[in-house]
Structure 1
Amino acid sequence: MKASGRNRPKSAPDAPEETIRPDRFTLGAIPGATPGKWIATWRERVPDVPLELRHISVSTQREELLAPRDPDTDEPPVDAALVRLPIVREGLHVIPLYDEVPVVVVSKDSHLNAADELELADLADEVVIVPRDDVLGIEVPGAVAPSFDPPDDTEQAIATVATGVGVVIVPMSLARLHHRRDVEHRPLRDGPPSTVALAWPTDAPSPLVETFVGIVRGRTANSSR
């Protein structure tokens, strides 16, 4: 005897479709880095994959790149990053991109503004401030050590210089990032350059990383790797 439609067991309801979040590419960037043109190219070539820009510090740039995904948060690890050299290269691919000129940040009314460029010898007898996040490590012969604790970061150091106390040496991009109307900066002719590089983990190859590397290297959309 056939079961009536009323008595037939009901079929199980369809399982809810799993929400699949599209891939995204997370790019880390140290202060002063300017990845805007590469991000714009990414959005043209890979419109279906969002690029998230995450600001990282020089002091933690390596840890950010090698950090595993945290299962307790929704935050993805950094896929690649614009870093400042030197960096320990073990476990990382590193491509140097460009060198930055070091500059001396001085107060608006400083006598050092009379020169278009400066040399280390010009800074003898000057109070040279070295913030805790210093990325250059320049030693200035004959410089005067500050009578106060080092500022926590470059922004605070430049704010101190603005009051007429001391000078600070930073890469050009950081002088521009923290520019104020009450300071000026001059190139340091014999100071060491600071190199910005692209880095990504060696053990996590990804087509998205390869795509971004190609963009940075200037490959066209149709060029082969």
Structure 2
Amino acid sequence: MERLRLAFVTGATPDKWARVWRERHPHIPIDLVPVEQAAQRAVLDDGAADMVLARLPVDLDRPRPLHCVRLYDEQQVVVAGREHLVAAADPEGGVTLADLADEQLVAPHPSGWRPDAEQLDWPSMSDKDAVEVVASGTGVVILPMSVARLHARKDVVSRPVTDLEPTQVALIWLRDADSDVHQDFVGVARGRRAGSGRGLSR
């Protein structure tokens, strides 16, 4: 492999690992490619990336089986306008899904959870656009904490959703494309020292 193309979803921060990779393997450049969560599987299937720092869930079997190494969990938060009732919740204690049962969820949540209230027909929108909508005082959106921080504004607040499972961030790549380069990057992401375990010869 002449270079390693690592795609990463919004909120993921591969810079530290890329820096370590460049120090260990200056002969194999690494390209960091941002990708929307909806396309995180497709960039592997169409050959646009060698590995993806992805947010689960991802179909690991179809159309081609993937390797998946889970790296860390991430708290999910609800984002709402600063004048919304959510703002009154304890920033540490957060809210529950039951507290949001009467809300308008302006973007669908990957878990499939929906408030009990009848929902408006919201158009498809990016995470940034969803935050802009809730900033106007209309509805709420649930996002991974890192994504909420990325799109933070003075006119919105975020609170942990305490009974929603954390999201998981993982490295994924095609099983039939596995190589020492892939395995060595896994070692970097897991904090292994140079020369330990499977990987490139040095």
Q: TM-score range by the shorter chain?
A: 0.7 to 0.9
Moved more, 33-42 or 59-68: 59-68
Distance (whole Å) between structure 1 residues aligned to residue 41 and residue 197 of structure 2? 30
For 1:69-121, what per-residue CA distance to the aligned partner results, in whole angstroms no more than 9, with x for missing partners?
Answer: xxxxxxxx311111121111122101111111110101112222111211112
Q: Does 1:50 align with 2:40?
A: no
What SS does structure 1 have at the residue aligned with 2:152?
Answer: coil
Q: Does 1:25 align with 2:25?
A: no
Correspondences of 1:168-207 after superposition (within 5 Å): 168-207=141-180
Q: Which residue of 2 aligns with 1:139?
A: 114
Distance (whole Å) between structure 2 residues aligned to residue 33 and residue 179 of structure 1? 16
Distance (whole Å) between structure 1 residues aligned to residue 51 and residue 102 of structure 2? 42
**1:118 aligned partner, one-letter code:** V
- Across the aligned residues of Structure 1 and Structure 2, the Cα RMSD in angstroms comes to 1.7
What SS does structure 1 have at the residue aligned with 2:147?
Answer: helix
Alpha-carbon offset, residue 37 of structure 1: 1.6
**1:31 aligned partner, one-letter code:** T
Q: Does 1:108 align with 2:82?
A: yes
Alpha-carbon offset, residue 144 of structure 1: 4.4
Q: Which residue of 2 aligns with 1:81?
A: 52
Indicate the structure (1 or 2) with the bigger Cα radius of gyration.
1
Identity, in percent, stands at 44
Q: Return closer, same or farther for 1:128/1:205 CA change in 2, 3 Å cut-off.
A: closer
Which structure has more RCO (C-alpha within 8 Å, separation ≥ 6)? 2
Which runs of 5 or more residues in structure 1 are unaligned? 1-21, 69-76
For 1:10-56, what per-residue CA distance to the aligned partner results, in whole angstroms no more than 9, with x for missing partners?
Answer: xxxxxxxxxxxx92110011111111221111111112221100112
Is the contact made by 1:151 and 1:157 (CA closer than 8 Å) also made in structure 2?
no
**2:146 aligned partner, one-letter code:** S
What SS does structure 1 have at the residue aligned with 2:176?
Answer: coil
Tell me which of 60, 63, 66 is aligned to 2:39: 60
Which runs of 5 or more residues in structure 2 are unaligned? none
**2:88 aligned partner, one-letter code:** A
**TM value normalised by structure 1:** 0.79
**1:137 aligned partner, one-letter code:** G
**2:162 aligned partner, one-letter code:** R
Correspondences of 1:118-137 after superposition (within 5 Å): 118-131=95-108, 134-137=109-112
Query: How many positions carry a matched residue from both structures?
Result: 192
Q: Which residue of 1 aligns with 2:135?
A: 162
Is the contact made by 1:94 and 1:197 (CA closer than 8 Å) also made in structure 2?
yes
Tell me which of 66, 74, 78 is aligned to 1:92: 66
What SS does structure 2 have at the residue aligned with 1:44?
Answer: helix
Is the contact made by 1:39 and 1:51 (CA closer than 8 Å) also made in structure 2?
yes
What SS does structure 2 have at the residue aligned with 1:47?
Answer: coil
What SS does structure 2 have at the residue aligned with 1:128?
Answer: coil
